[in-house]
Structure 1
Amino acid sequence: MSNVSPFLIKTAIDNITPNVQISRIRDGSLLLKTIDQNQAVKLMKQSTLAGEIGIKICEHPTLNQSRGTIHCPDLISLKDEGILEGLKESHVVAVRRMTRITKEKKSEDTGTFILTFNLSQIPLTMDVGFYNCRVRQYVPAPLRCTNCLKFGPKADQCRGNKVCADCAQLYHDNGPCSSKQVCVNCRNEHNSWSKKCPIYEDEFEIQRIRVTEKLPMREARKKRRSQVPAPIFATTTPNRSFAGVLRESLPTHNEQRREHQDRHPAQPTDKQLNEKHEVGRQLPTRPIENVSNILREQKDNTLNTTEKEKPSSHHASKENHPTQTAGISINFQNNMNDTFEKTMDNIMNEKLF
């Protein structure tokens, strides 16, 4: 059917019965999902498609069945054949009883039975003699390897070493394990077979989605990951990989960066060099109070020098040179005031020298 046009297949199926879901499965055949039993009967009567392509339509061996559990201790004494004979009217095609291992390492019946129904959905209740028992959806335990105790592969396909279920180390058949309990899957402190393991709970939810929604395992896992992320667990495992050991031995990015900075110190940029040069050219300024005192002292010294340089002739008198003496004093006083004001302006502008 891989060489047949999908348009031709869709048109031919719709001519037989409409509203049928068509999908291709892994082995190349087509999976048809009908609305009711009448559509299924019409399709199974067909031997050709579009009058020229030979086909064979049959029921899927598992998707048209469902499994549920009932609890009825009164059925423990009966054989499985007798129970199946009494439940045929309820569309039961197979019976399997659930057992448990006692402390004495013996198998014991629990009174719970797994029933396979020839129905796509399990009934809510069913009559077991004069009992009306509730039917619960049966979800199988996640597939687990009995060799490495990891989820997924089977023991005959496992390439790992056999490990102890208590300490997660290599298997040691020397009696009860006295080491600290460590889970192989999540590395928490519990037995590897514990149902409280977060990895087991996650795998069980994937199985529940697969069973209740009748999805392939890959699709069920994908849907579970869209609902919740993968559980986080400790990474300090005794059986570390080569990549994990190498990753721990190598320095981190921050350590490498720090070591590089120590070996090769950063060179100053042009901007930093220019700023440093400008700062070096600036001379230290003096406090304003000290500059004022210095100018005042210079002013007093200049006045004293001027007085000493006055003419000492006895013939000169105040009446003869009133204007010249006063002019010298006034001009000097004005020049000192101008110099003082300019100096103070320069100080305020940080340009003293």
Structure 2
Amino acid sequence: MTVADEIQGLLRPGLRGLSPYGAPQLDVAVRLNTNENSYSVPDEVVRAVATALTSEIADLNRYPDRDAVKLRADLAAYLGHGIDAEWVYAANGSNEVQQQLLQAFGGPDRVVLGFGPAYSMHPLLAVGTATGWVDAGRGDDFGLTAAHAVDAVREHRPALTMLCSPNNPTGTALDLDVVRAVLAATEGLVVVDEAYAEFARPGTPSALSLLAEHPRLVVTRTMSKAFAFAGARVGYLVAHPAVIDAVQLVRLPYHLSALTQAAARAALAHTPVLLATVEAIKQQRDRIVATLRERGLRVADSDANFVLFETGGDQQAVWRALLERGVLVRDVGLKGWLRVTAGTPAETDAFLTAMEQQ
């Protein structure tokens, strides 16, 4: 028996044989596979973050503010909707936020419900917290109706229901009537993952507007996408303060470093500068959608910074052909479909040209 076999034998049964989450990190000219913001942090923000970090360094012998009070207040001010700091909780990316929700409200003999194809990290978070995972699926057009969602809730009686809006990997925002219907049908928490909310098409409402009337609603967001702050790892949830009190039962001590808090606050102080790229990215997204449809391919409607498109054949072969031309996109495991991040105009040019040549 090898050491690896021995260690596998010591793992919890639910983890044996699994692979960790991750997308290929390949050194290619055009990387459009992880939904990052392709635009670098502006110099003005770089200087502000550097100044904020410098001011914290001398005090690194002290623990950070474990409640991140100032950061939570800044996030609340950014969100609007009458939200104040008591309704906001921040952590190391929205993945950690969601993991802590499952630690607090999931666990053995409880179920978390999702509707795939959706964010592939959700079932892994369920496994990691020993929570049962149920994928109730979607329609052939990747849509999710209130009737289908309610039927699944009534059948499985989940402790948590995960809804993505915009949905990843399809990119389409969810009608708030679906969220309302699920809230009415379940006694558990309803978590709406809005990681890509800033990229939504005009008139697309946010689940934040439902918080005041629904204490079991949780909205999770991130600074990784629209804010071009993926390397800083800052995510947050918005929910009734009672939910936040419960989540803090499972958080690690001083989980959010003083440097992370300082960097995030400096970024939020320059919100207009950082979000200036959002409209440019949306233009490239819409260009990808329109061009691929003109070429006869099916493309999902997108409210995110990425596009799910039909390849017209074996998606793995198309993925490899694009890679050979220096363009890395994402194979999300849907037969005949691939996902591409909307980047700069030059990156879009490279992708569309590679698609035409393959």
- TM-score, length-scaled by structure 1: 0.18
Q: Which has the higher helix share?
A: 2
Q: Which of the two has higher C-alpha Rg?
A: 1
